[in-house]
Amino acid sequence: MSRINSQRKGCKDVFNAFLVKSATYAGDYEFPRIIASYDIPNKLISFSKATALKDTNQWVHFYEDDYLFERIWKNPEKYLDILKKYNGVILPDFSLYRDMPLCMQIWNIYRSRAIGHWLQTNGIKVIPNIRYGDYRTYYICCDGIEKHCTIAVGTHGNLKLIPDREVFLSGLDAIVETLEPKTIVVYGAAPDKFFEKYKKAGINIVQFDSSYATSHKEVV
């Protein structure tokens, strides 16, 4: 039987439909649209640290293990006031592994965009995180993101091994071709041998070291 969840009496919102109550959608998989952002972060802090940090003059990111931020999907309202204190948020980086079924890859893109739409409706500046898995998601992950704006990608863990690097770079080429971003915020390494061509094309590359790289530098 096909029913409308929101019209069920006493219904518990088990899939967070409230996040997209006012959303418009894009693409075959109906990802919530994200309003274009042209902001550039001054500094980044991970979500797991942001919940207890007093220095809020920075942007919150989710480039960390999923278990550290899965709670924002389970109870987003709990963290709204915390995130409002910061300059803005780079949208959640739910994992997309190449060996995940496509439906799960799509679901994790959707979850990030649903949270992003909701944060925007609550007055929080956001930058869309573009995460893709296998080649089938290269163009899907661009749905709902406006052209010529600021986007973010995470390179940490994606450039070391050749198979991962090839997938990441071919996917990034597809994203740049599709979205023609003005700025790409890169969390992790952004070697010139991979990113120089984007710079020459007029794209502003804003790089931030990963927490792993930063801690390694401190130890050295």
Q: What is the pLDDT of residue 213?
A: 58
Tell if the pTM clears 0.85, that is, is over it: yes
Closest Cα to residue 33, out of 46, 48, 22? 22
Are the beta carbons of 185 and 40 closer than 8 angstroms? yes
Query: What does each C-alpha distance from 95 to 52, 66, 131, 136 come to in angstroms?
Result: 24, 7, 8, 15
Q: What are the tens digits of pLDDT across the range 124-159?
A: 999 999 999 999 999 999 999 999 999 999 999 899
What's the order of all strands across the beta sheet hosting 59-61?
44-46, 59-61, 88-90, 126-127
CATH number of 26-219: 3.20.20
Sign of CA dihedral 185, 187, 191, 195: negative
For every residue of 99-121, which 3-state class applies, written as one string? CCCHHHHHHHHHHHHHHHHHHHH
User: pLDDT-derived band of residue 220, with 50, 70 and 90 as boundaries?
Assistant: very low
Domain boundaries, the chain: 26-219
* Angle (nearest 5°) at CA 94 between 90 and 100: 150
Q: What is the pLDDT of residues 168-187, one digit of tens each?
A: 999 999 999 999 999 999 99
Cβ count near 215 (within 10 Å): 11
Q: Which of 2-16, 81-95, 184-198 has the lowest mean pLDDT?
A: 2-16
In this prediction, residue 12 carries a pLDDT of 82
What's the pLDDT tens digit per position in 82-114? 999 999 999 999 999 999 999 999 999 999 999
Share above pLDDT 70 across residues of the chain, in percent, rounded to a whole number: 91
Q: Tell which residue, 174, 183, 163, has the closest CA to residue 137.
A: 174
Residue 166's pLDDT is 96
Q: What distance in Å separates the CA atoms of residue 102 and residue 173, rounded to the nearest whole number?
A: 21
How far apart CA 211 and CA 65 sit, in angstroms, is 12
State mean pLDDT over 15-38: 96
Q: Is the pLDDT of residue 25 over 50?
A: yes
